[in-house]
Chain A
Amino acid sequence: AAGVIQSPRHLIKEKRETATLKCYPIPRHDTVYWYQQGPGQDPQFLISFYEKMQSDKGSIPDRFSAQQFSDYHSELNMSSLELGDSALYFCASSLGVGDTQYFGPGTRLTVL
């Protein structure tokens, strides 16, 4: 079965640079979620979209923004990167808000 696709899988950036992470949800899933997971930590919810509209907002820094496109894929834009942004970033998708979330393999972001 098709799963959530994330790209890139690994990304290395310098401080103050920008990064864009992409997420392609499971076909027919209309809801996407972004999570940040630091080393040894549980995933922390950042933001979610349903039918191309922001549905919930969590602990997403103002330096980050995200959107969902007409084909339901989503992009997380990160600017003015800081060392503390180094983490695994996961995207999850579901068939509607509140339904089971299925996670992608993640993007490992390293900020030097």
Chain B
Amino acid sequence: GESVGLHLPTLSVQEGDNSIINCAYSNSASDYFIWYKQESGKGPQFIIDIRSNMDKRQGQRVTVLLNKTVKHLSLQIAATQPGDSAVYFCAETPLNTPLVFGKGTRLSVIA
């Protein structure tokens, strides 16, 4: 069936480096994508979103890139900090249907 997945289950980066977390999706009808950050024992926290009519969106220290040709989504975190350590999920929703979450990527920041 349709699914959203992540390429890597874990990612370790040095503090201050940039992080890139990738996500592949298979539902070409998806028109809205969201990145969530989840710390241990907490609920998913909205980071940034992007609609299918865009290919890039920037927030504070974060950038989301969308490549609809290859159905690929990425989250870039600039100057990664220890507080960025968490599990990151991408999620998609095609045409106002429920969110489909991908498998999370655990980001570990090495001080």
A residues at B contact (CB < 8 Å): 4, 33, 42-45, 48, 56, 58, 90, 92, 97-98, 100-106, 108
**Residues of chain B lying within 8 A (CB to CB) of residue A42:** 89, 101-104
Report the interface size class on chain B: 20 to 34
Chain B residues, CB < 8 A from A108: 41
Report if A100-B43 is in contact (Cβ < 8 Å); known contacts: A33-B98, A58-B98. no
Binds A, one of B44-52, B55-63, B69-77: B44-52
Residue of A nearest to B89 (CB): A42
Beta-carbon contact of A45 and B43 below 8 Å: no
Docked pose: A56 CA to B101 CA in angstroms: 16
Decide if B96 touches A98 in the complex (CB within 8 Å).
yes
Interface contact B32-A98, CB-CB below 8 Å: yes
Question: Are B46 and A56 closer than 8 Å at their CB atoms?
Answer: no
The 9 closest A-B pairs by CB, nearest first: A98-B96, A103-B43, A42-B101, A45-B98, A103-B44, A56-B98, A106-B43, A105-B43, A97-B96
Write out the residue numbers on chain B whose beta carbons fall within 8 Å of the beta carbon of A56.
Answer: 97-98
- At the interface, yes or no: B79 with Cβ under 8 Å from chain A? no
Complex contact A100–B44 (CB within 8 A): no
Bound together, the chains give a CA A74 to CA B44 distance in angstroms of 19
Task: Note all chain A residues with C-beta closer than 8 A to B41.
Answer: 106, 108
- B102's closest neighbor in chain A, by CB? A42
What residues on A are CB-neighbors of B49 within 8 Å?
100
Chain B contacts for A92, CB-based, 8 A: 43-44
